[in-house]
Chains A and B, each alone.
Chain A
């Protein structure tokens, strides 16, 4: 619609709540909900890190006792020594909690919720009640997931991908496959419902509640990323929800969606199932699972674009190309799920198509990388902690992306599939690159959220240790994969070819201990700065987007009932002849004629 004719849709305003419970617990304010998501993810990430440290310990010293663990897990780790099934349950919950409750939750539910409405000049999300429900359903999902540790049999051991029949036939397949697996499915079902509701909210808000003048092509790239992530979430999580319900029916109602006839498990024949297909789950799961990778990384790309431009004091290089690349990644993201299944027994002909599509998705990813470097090129780079993490993100994204080129080719994947090469690859890109996006966003937006600055010295210390640390952890995993080490082994004692790799595993474990411990610096900085940090100005980074026009923290309805008017795009830095080296989106000053 023509920009002049666009008026902001009337927003169902809700008054600022007075009571503690309505203000902080069951709040309708997108900023409170965003903060709730952020802290839920923060709690989850530390649970996930602790689980991974325990796993790394067991991989290197499988017979050693961990003090205190015996008391926490009397069956899984009697006397502090883990059983193989306990290791696998740690692995399952680590993967699940990191993918869903951290990488999906913090960038989208957390920062997206907090800043999308402000960045487009809206008073709140389109559906505040739905927003509150999304968070609380996610919260219940997390509790249900963690409850799996304390039920009989413990947490499931089938990994975050939960392939049937292992995940479908119950306790007979192993401890944790009974109640624990059921709780896992319920948790994921709750999470998907919450995510679909959240996605609808993001989409409607972006389309309907933009301030006058905020055309789509003037949106900050953060908003574009949250918007496209929401579309991916809507389409992908619905499919996972359906798959989860089918799996639950196979377990509880005797259906056979994923269970074929004639299964003999542990010398017992399963008589009540026939006609199901284990591969059906894999198709449904990865139809969700691959877009999920982009759900985790796109918001990070958005935040990193914003931060690179801000601290290079330079407009983003190729704004339109960046938007089209986001769209391209989102679109192609739905056509590549089969690359997880080259060895699964699916038709080898389809592997060709999935493989070509996977290489194709590398193209928009490469465009983004070129444009980030192009943004820095000719800039006036300010090395804040947020900027360091953003640059670290680009480096990790390049590294993690390139190892994907090996796995995208079926012929090479014959060797690498399900080895540590894959573990190194996806941790590098959707794990730590996405986490670097979250850290960058945290250091960047903290002053707006709390009206105080985080400590830059501690922030930089945190960055240096973490940046070196993650490379030290995940680069050697690629080498393990080159040697052929399979993943998801609870110990490496049974194979002659794995024994010489013990030194590499020890190195990784030590690097993981150090890197995990260094995160305490971040925690301390975060909580100390919330109460004791130096007071922040309204716009400490001299940034152009709308959230920097309102007080810190922003008031309940963001703009005091007077939506801002937007005059130009989001990244007008170092405009020639301007009075400052940045031009707010609300500044009516004219831009010079563009020339390249």
Chain B
């Protein structure tokens, strides 16, 4: 009896914690955030209902059929079996299909034309962000030229004129309401670029250049966290991402021109 009450209590407390609003997603600051959040909340409702019904049923059978001196002899019921198999299958697959659209929009296509192009380089335990500068072209890089101590962490080739106006900074700024395309690199081990408010996360893998795009919709400063274990300083591999007005963004870029 205590067991049934305990299972019910745990169920209610768990659900209360999730809907308390005390622990929730931060506000969404990108154009796709609403659809991701929608999918999350739908899943939360569906899981919440199944969770409630399953735990309540478990508590109820424990309570109802405790030590009552006799049991019903039955090996099951094929109709019921088929019913709940189909119901679960339809529900799970439908939920899944609903969520595919936003994924496809984010990952199957590149950014819209005219997107701001930014390169992101992860290394133990800092992020370096590169902008192409006024010429709109990234200079050639070479791993052999990479040197933090010489002030060239990305190994930009000084012989390439395209690279002379490239901007390399430890934090990122993007203009609001314009599509942004990031190209993620890693110099040493795998890192992951995660910004909660923008609902973006993507691993940066050595040997790969991985694109990711989003459109920021809300001006503000957001923390960038590393989300893939990268070594002893993983917990402090932090950067900042500022979403600025177009005007402030241009000013920000100019202030950092080499």
With A471-B10, A488-B234, A497-B196 in contact, is A377–B43 under 8 Å at CB? no
Q: How far is the CA of A592 from the CA of B70 in the complex (A)?
A: 17
What count of chain B residues pass the 8 Å CB interface test?
Answer: 103
Residues of A within 8 A of B206 (CB): 165, 259-260, 262-263, 278
Asked if A573 and B71 make an inter-chain contact with CB atoms under 8 angstroms apart, the answer reads yes
Q: A313-337, CB under 8 A of B: which get 1 and which 0?
A: 1111111010000000000000000
Residues of A within 8 A of B233 (CB): 84
In the complex, B192 has a CB within 8 A of chain A: yes
- Residue in contact with B74 in the complex, picked from A344, A414, A596, CB distance below 8 Å: A596
Segment of B54-62, B165-173, B247-255 in the binding face: B54-62
CB distance from A82 to the nearest CB of B (A): 11
A residues 471-529 near B (Cβ < 8 Å) are 471, 475-476, 478-480, 482-484, 486, 488-497, 504
Asked if B67 and A175 make an inter-chain contact with CB atoms under 8 angstroms apart, the answer reads no
Residues of A within 8 A of B143 (CB): 261-264, 269
Asked if A479 and B17 make an inter-chain contact with CB atoms under 8 angstroms apart, the answer reads yes
Asked if A475 and B93 make an inter-chain contact with CB atoms under 8 angstroms apart, the answer reads no
Q: How far is the CA of A169 from the CA of B124 in the complex (A)?
A: 14
Asked if A363 and B89 make an inter-chain contact with CB atoms under 8 angstroms apart, the answer reads yes
- Residue in contact with B23 in the complex, picked from A173, A355, A482, CB distance below 8 Å: A482
Asked if A166 and B190 make an inter-chain contact with CB atoms under 8 angstroms apart, the answer reads yes
Residues of B within 8 A of A391 (CB): 3, 7, 58, 62
Q: How far is the CA of A269 from the CA of B55 in the complex (A)?
A: 56
Asked if B71 and A348 make an inter-chain contact with CB atoms under 8 angstroms apart, the answer reads no
CB distance from B12 to the nearest CB of A (A): 12
Asked if A383 and B207 make an inter-chain contact with CB atoms under 8 angstroms apart, the answer reads no
Residues of B within 8 A of A480 (CB): 23
Asked if B93 and A356 make an inter-chain contact with CB atoms under 8 angstroms apart, the answer reads yes
In the complex, A382 has a CB within 8 A of chain B: yes
In the complex, A24 has a CB within 8 A of chain B: no
- Residue in contact with B100 in the complex, picked from A85, A259, A352, CB distance below 8 Å: A352
Segment of B131-139, B156-164, B174-182, B224-232 in the binding face: B224-232
Q: Which residue of B lies closest to A361 (CB)?
A: B92
Residues of B within 8 A of A398 (CB): 50-51, 54-55, 58
With A165-B189, A345-B210, A410-B99 in contact, is A399–B89 under 8 Å at CB? no
With A373-B58, A377-B65 in contact, is A383–B3 under 8 Å at CB? yes
- Residue in contact with B225 in the complex, picked from A263, A277, A312, A495, CB distance below 8 Å: A495
In the complex, A366 has a CB within 8 A of chain B: yes
CB distance from A156 to the nearest CB of B (A): 11
CB distance from A570 to the nearest CB of B (A): 12
Contacts between chains A and B (CB distance < 8 A), count? 345
Q: A348-381, CB under 8 A of B: which get 1 and which 0?
A: 1101100110011011001101110110111111
Segment of A188-196, A415-423, A446-454 in the binding face: A415-423
Q: How far is the CA of A405 from the CA of B77 in the complex (A)?
A: 27
In the complex, A159 has a CB within 8 A of chain B: yes
Q: A398-418, CB under 8 A of B: which get 1 and which 0?
A: 110011011011111011011
Asked if A486 and B103 make an inter-chain contact with CB atoms under 8 angstroms apart, the answer reads no
In the complex, A128 has a CB within 8 A of chain B: no
In the complex, A10 has a CB within 8 A of chain B: no
In the complex, A468 has a CB within 8 A of chain B: yes
Asked if A360 and B10 make an inter-chain contact with CB atoms under 8 angstroms apart, the answer reads no
Q: B74-111, CB under 8 A of A: which get 1 and which 0?
A: 11111011001100110011011101101110111000
With A174-B232, A278-B207, A482-B24 in contact, is A352–B103 under 8 Å at CB? yes
B residues 7-60 near A (Cβ < 8 Å) are 7, 10, 13-14, 17-18, 23-26, 35-36, 39-40, 43-44, 46-47, 50-51, 54-55, 57-58
Pairs across A and B, CB under 8 Å, 26 listed: A157-B229, A174-B232, A262-B143, A262-B207, A263-B143, A265-B188, A266-B188, A267-B148, A276-B207, A278-B190, A315-B76, A321-B81, A345-B202, A345-B210, A362-B88, A363-B92, A373-B58, A412-B99, A414-B199, A415-B36, A475-B13, A488-B229, A490-B232, A573-B71, A581-B71, A596-B76
Q: Chain B residues in contact with chain A, CB under 8 A?
A: 2-3, 6-7, 10, 13-14, 17-18, 23-26, 35-36, 39-40, 43-44, 46-47, 50-51, 54-55, 57-58, 61-62, 65-78, 80-81, 84-85, 88-89, 92-93, 95-97, 99-100, 102-104, 106-108, 123-124, 143-144, 146-149, 155, 184, 187-190, 192, 194, 196, 199-203, 205-208, 210, 223, 225-236, 238
Q: Chain A residues in contact with chain B, CB under 8 A?
A: 83-85, 88, 157-159, 163-166, 169, 173-175, 259-267, 269, 276-279, 312-319, 321, 343-345, 348-349, 351-352, 355-356, 359-360, 362-363, 366-367, 369-371, 373-374, 376-383, 388, 391, 394-395, 398-399, 402-403, 405-406, 408-412, 414-415, 417-419, 464, 467-468, 471, 475-476, 478-480, 482-484, 486, 488-497, 504, 573-576, 581, 592, 594, 596
Q: Other than A259-B206, A263-B187, A265-B187, give 15 A-B pairs with Cβ distance below 8 A.
A: A165-B188, A169-B188, A318-B78, A343-B227, A363-B92, A371-B76, A376-B65, A398-B50, A409-B103, A410-B99, A414-B36, A414-B201, A483-B23, A488-B235, A493-B235
